[in-house]
Amino acid sequence: MSRTDRVSNDSCVLVTGGCGFIGSHTVVELLEKGYEVLVIDDLSNSSKAVLERVGQIVGPDAMQRLSFYRANVNDRETLDGIFTHHRIDTVIHFAGFKAVGESVSKPIEYFSNNIGCTLTLVDVMRTYGCKNIIFSSSATVYGDPDELPLTEESPKKPATNPYGWTKWMIEEMLRSLVVADPTWNVVLLRYFNPIGAHPSGLIGEDPKGIPNNLVPYVAQVAVGRRDAVHVYGDDYDTPDGTGVRDYIHVVDLARGHVAALEWMAHRCGCEVFNLGTGRGTSVLDVIKAYSAACGTDLPYVVEPRRPGDVTANWADCTKAKELLGWEAQYDIEDMCRDSWRWQSNNPYGYER
């Protein structure tokens, strides 16, 4: 969107976890749409440098509509202060820990951070009469699917790790809020696999330590930080034997939040939306697309399957298209091209 396309909008949105991967891209889209944006982030998995980059993308005028609070969402006093000083219309709640493997070894930290901070947040929201919330849920709640594509009606399955349980439970907590008080307005967005980066190459995913997800790992192989991609299982019942996922460009995902925000105004209840592309892409297809983007054939090694990985999943996004007027625009080539631009311009992320 060009500067002149921006609409004037005096709505104030609190974005928890707004310095993170998906949060930062959503902050860009919100500022470009004219929203006033408050970010609360404790920087436990991000860097403040991201906001300087956001400023380079949106420009100084839009940045005047951004305020940053470095704090834990579980810190009730800070939240009270924020709600006292601003009339917040909606909260977009990204803050939380997200590493599946780590959640298995640190369940207390995951339950405490993800569920604890959500409870504090909604309690403070209730106190200040702010009852609009968009929550970052995940396709992980569908578990191993019986049928594809997955619709919002597909059954939730028991989670296979504490991270998955936190998403599962927070969805139910927010649903219960609406049952108890139907004036709450809850949107649960179930993301499929967000990858890619802002086309400017200024912001992107910056995992700490060894990346847990495929594309950040592939990106680090592409810049020479790691030797080879590990492909976990090539004997799945899929066309090339490797796992199939629905990858979605992070900018499309960010725009899905803005679409949800606009749709949820003047309504209440609880609604769930899948955000994906509706297309499945295999691990080998991702490596091929990334190799084309970076101009080198990336090496990979096949390893045994990982416990808990499902064979395939992809979304039916008809509901988001019909109700939100939202549809993903970017394909896997675009996602790999933008990821590569970010990674090659910032081989060590925001740090150097």
Active site residues: 163
How many beta carbons lie within 10 A of that of residue 69, not counting itself? 18
How many beta carbons lie within 10 A of that of residue 115, not counting itself? 17
In whole angstroms, the minimum distance from the beta carbon of 154 to ligand NAD comes to 16
* CA separation for the pair 152, 190 (Å, rounded): 9
Structure tokens at 40: 């609360």
Strands annotated E in the chain: 12-16, 36-41, 66-70, 90-93, 132-138, 185-191, 193-195, 229-232, 244-245, 247-249, 269-275, 281-282, 300-303
* CA separation for the pair 12, 117 (Å, rounded): 21
In whole angstroms, the minimum distance from the beta carbon of 197 to ligand NAD comes to 12
* CA separation for the pair 58, 211 (Å, rounded): 28
Q: Cβ-closest residue to ligand NAD?
A: 20
In whole angstroms, the minimum distance from the beta carbon of 167 to ligand NAD comes to 7
In whole angstroms, the minimum distance from the beta carbon of 86 to ligand NAD comes to 17
Binding site for ligand NAD (CB under 6 A): 17, 19-23, 40-46, 72-74, 94-98, 113, 117, 136, 138, 191, 193-194, 213
Q: Residue 98 or 337: which CB sits closer to ligand NAD?
A: 98
Q: Residue 40 or 231: which CB sits closer to ligand NAD?
A: 40
* CA separation for the pair 322, 330 (Å, rounded): 19
Q: Residue 149 or 194: which CB sits closer to ligand NAD?
A: 194
Q: Residue 6 or 86: which CB sits closer to ligand NAD?
A: 86
